[in-house]
Amino acid sequence: MWIMLAAALAALQSARRLALLLAALAALAGFYYQVLTWPVLPLLAGTAALVALRRYDPTPSWQQILSEALLVLIALGLLLHLFPGFNNPVQVDGIKVGARSLPFSFFFNFDKALIPFVLLACLPTLFRARACPPRYPWVAALALIAAVPLLLCCAVLLGGLAFEPHFPSWLPAFMLANLFFVSLAEEALFRGYLQQRLREALGGLPALAISALLFGLVHFTGGILLVIFATLAGLLYGLAWHWSGRLWLSTALHFALNLTHLLFFTYPALHH
């Protein structure tokens, strides 16, 4: 089921009919294994009706504005796990990755995985938008890559992390979940949709700053240090998206930072 759902997300940009078929099969498997239960049905039906409405009358109108607003609210609800009927299975429950790490749990999130499908109905350019390339692309690319360990090392200096290498047995499950059900979902919302819409209205730099700040604020439950760290990370992901226009590029950078964090530093944070 989860491999099918990941494959659906991987195909969503280039083969949408295949992606929808795989997603439908994954949903059927989800109901069979009770990862999805009946309260999900009204949500799926309502979302499908909004998407059909947009396809039936694609001309700009108040119906289009209202349907897009409702779809974005659905995406936010999926991000925050607000909708009933999703029994996201826990993969790791309250374990300490290392001696100095805080206890950590992670799930396979079916609800968050639906976010790119919802937002693609709002914005056809979700995966590939207009690029604003920098003057020296290779320098910019190297700077973004170098910023990943630099940001993590700054967190060490601030006392939020410490160096602590790990290679847990559940690493493949973490990589699958973090790439498709976390990084892609969050990048679809904050970069592919939000930053793109803000850039259309306000310009590149305000869009970058606002989307990064909102991304940081979503992490408020982890404390002020995590909000700052996530905001700075959001600036990196936002630059990757702004310069390339490609959602998968910002997703890859997001995933690379999360994976580097797990492999070489206390995860999710330092236990004081």
Give me the tens of pLDDT residue by residue for the chain, a chain 272 residues long: 999 999 999 999 999 999 999 999 999 999 999 999 999 999 999 999 999 888 777 667 778 889 999 999 999 999 999 999 999 999 999 999 999 999 999 999 999 999 999 999 999 999 999 999 999 999 999 999 999 999 999 999 989 999 999 999 999 999 999 999 999 999 999 999 999 999 999 999 999 999 999 999 999 888 898 999 999 999 999 999 999 999 999 999 999 999 999 999 999 999 87
Flag whether 272 is in a domain.
no
Cα 110 from Cα 86, distance rounded (Å): 7
Flag whether 269 is in a domain.
no
Flag whether 130 is in a domain.
yes
pLDDT of 196 reads 97
Flag whether 30 is in a domain.
yes
pLDDT of 52 reads 87
**Number of domains, the chain:** 1
Q: Could you count the other beta carbons within 10 Å of the beta carbon of residue 25?
A: 15
Dihedral sign, Cα of residue 30, residue 28, residue 15, residue 81:
negative
Domain of residue 141: give its range.
2-264
Q: Which long-range contacts (CB under 8 A, 24 or more apart) does 252-258 make?
A: 253/144, 253/148, 254/183, 254/186, 254/187, 255/175, 255/178, 255/179, 255/183, 256/148, 257/148, 257/151, 257/152, 257/233, 258/178, 258/182, 258/183
What pTM was estimated for this model as a whole? 0.95
Helix axes 40-56, 115-122, angle to 10 degrees: 20
pLDDT of 149 reads 96
Flag whether 147 is in a domain.
yes
pLDDT of 134 reads 94
pLDDT of 222 reads 82
pLDDT of 3 reads 96
Flag whether 78 is in a domain.
yes
pLDDT of 63 reads 80
